[in-house]
Each structure stands twice: as C-alpha cells, then as structure tokens.
C-alpha cells in the first residue's frame, strides 16, 4: 500500500500504521483521513493481518489535532457534514473493526488525535505523551466522537472537566483515569505494543472479533448482553471453536485455522 501521509508495515501478522506528517505534528487533514479509511479497510480484508498498531511519526506527536486551516471558514452545514463523514469513515470504522487496533500514543494526542486514539480498542502511551480535547478554546466542541468516548473511558465528571477546561493531562493522570492501559518509555513503546499484539494473535481471530463486537454493543443503543449471547453461540459453529476445545482436551496448544 502506497500513501502520501501514512506508512504501513506488516510483519508476523502485525500491521503497523504510522501517520507520517511530522512537520505538521501528524495533524489530521482530509487526505489523511481518507488514507486511514483505505488502509484500515484493506488491512481488515487481509487474512494475514491479526492485529493493527496505530502510531504517529517522529518523537513529538501521535496526532496533535485536526488541520484547522481546512475548516476555519466552514458553514454550519459544512461543519456538521465534516463531523458526520469523519466519524463514519474513520473513527466509528476503527472502533467497529473486526481486528484489534492498539494505539501507540508516542507524544501529543490532542483534539482529533485523542479522538483517534480513543476509537482504537485500547491505548499504550509513552512517558512524553500529553492528551486533551482543546476544541472549546477554538469556539467548537469535539466532533469526532470525543464527547461520547471520553466519558465512557474516564467517567462523566472527568470528561466534562477535560472538555470544558480544554486542558492537557499527562500520562500519569491518563493512567489513573483509565484513559491508557499502560505507560512505557518512548523507546519501549512499539516493542511493548508488539508484545501485546503477539499475545492477542495467539488466540482465535474469530473469537476476538466477536468479543470486540459484544463489548462495543454495551456502549451503544443496543443490548450488550444480547450481543454477547449471539456472539457466544456463533463461535460454536466455527473451526476455531472446534480446534480450541479439542486442543484443550488434548492438552496441547491450539493452532487456530484463522491464524
């Protein structure tokens, strides 16, 4: 895959997507959002890919926000379309991807950058990372799911404070809030994420996909328990279930067909 704003690598079933606009601190413009959609759509269809790691290029930023120059003169309807298209094309798309996506937050994750990280299934941050939603300081609100995902992750009160103050938090606070799963040095970040990805890829891809869908259902306007029941039942009809249970009974390591 060749992109202008992304680098995509694949090794041992783990795909790494790097947003590559270091001079712009990896800010999200229209072209980058379109390329992210195309990259994730292609990786989801690639049977070789088991886990995806998303990060930013350079030592300073994961994604420092959206490219404000692109929408500074938008009308109300254009602003609404921008949010709707972005959510559908990238943020919701990543959240509902059937393959796990780990955000390796290697620096500033602000505005659309934090929203992008929150759309991933979980987040690992480097010590220098800083996170926040500064949109109200620009006279607007988060438009790529930030007002919804942040309360789900850190609680309503903390999310309200972060959004209304437009301030940044450091990784220690992000960890205590549950916004990130772990904090490591910048040098260890990708290796740590790759180790987690390797553990995930040892498991049934079909079961992991159903688990993502069931967990997400609990945060939507649907019954998560019903989704879990359906996903649980669906697993029984798969080759992965047959192999996993047979391997357990035979006291050996499972070799899942989907791996």
> Which residues are catalytic, by number?
115, 135
CA distance 51 to 68: 31
For residues 37 and 6, the answer to whether their CB atoms sit within 8 Å is no
Question: CB atoms < 10 A from the CB of 132, how many?
Answer: 21
Three-state secondary structure of the chain: CCCCCEEEEEECCEEEEEECCHHHCCCECHHHHHHHHHHHHHHHHCCCCCEEEEEECCCCEEECCECHHHCCCCCHHHHHHHHHHHHHHHHHHHHCCCCCEEEEECCEEECHHHHHHHHCCEEEEECCCEEECCHHHHCCCCCCCHHHHHHHHHCHHHHHHHHHHCCEEEHHHHHHHCCCCEEECHHHHHHHHHHHHHHHHCCCHHHHHHHHHHHHHCCCCCCHHHHHHHHHHHHCCCHHHHHHHHHHHCCCCCCCCCC
């Amino acid at each position: 895959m060749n992109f202008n704003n992304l680098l995509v690598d694949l090794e041992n079933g783990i795909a790494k997507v790097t947003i590559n606009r270091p001079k712009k601190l990896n800010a999200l413009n229209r072209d980058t959002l379109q390329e992210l959609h195309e990259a994730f759509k292609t990786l989801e269809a690639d049977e070789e890919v088991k886990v995806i790691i998303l990060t930013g290029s350079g030592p300073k930023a994961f994604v420092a926000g959206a490219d404000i120059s692109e929408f500074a003169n938008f009308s109300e309807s254009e602003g609404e379309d921008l949010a709707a298209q972005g959510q559908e094309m990238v943020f919701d798309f990543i959240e509902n991807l059937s393959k796990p996506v780990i955000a390796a937050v290697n620096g500033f994750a602000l505005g659309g950058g934090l929203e992008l990280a929150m759309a991933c299934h979980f987040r690992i941050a480097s010590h220098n990372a800083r996170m926040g939603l500064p949109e109200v300081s620009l006279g607007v609100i988060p438009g790529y799911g930030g007002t919804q995902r942040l309360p789900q992750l850190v609680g309503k009160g903390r999310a309200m404070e972060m959004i209304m103050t437009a301030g940044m938090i450091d990784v220690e606070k992000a960890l205590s809030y549950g916004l990130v799963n772990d904090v490591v040095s910048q040098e260890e970040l990708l290796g740590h994420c790759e180790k987690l990805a390797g553990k995930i890829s040892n498991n049934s891809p079909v079961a992991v996909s159903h688990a993502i869908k069931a967990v997400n259902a609990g945060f939507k306007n649907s019954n998560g328990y019903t989704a879990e029941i359906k996903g649980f039942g669906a697993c029984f009809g798969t080759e992965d279930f047959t192999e996993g249970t047979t391997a357990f009974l035979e006291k050996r390591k499972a070799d899942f067909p989907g791996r």
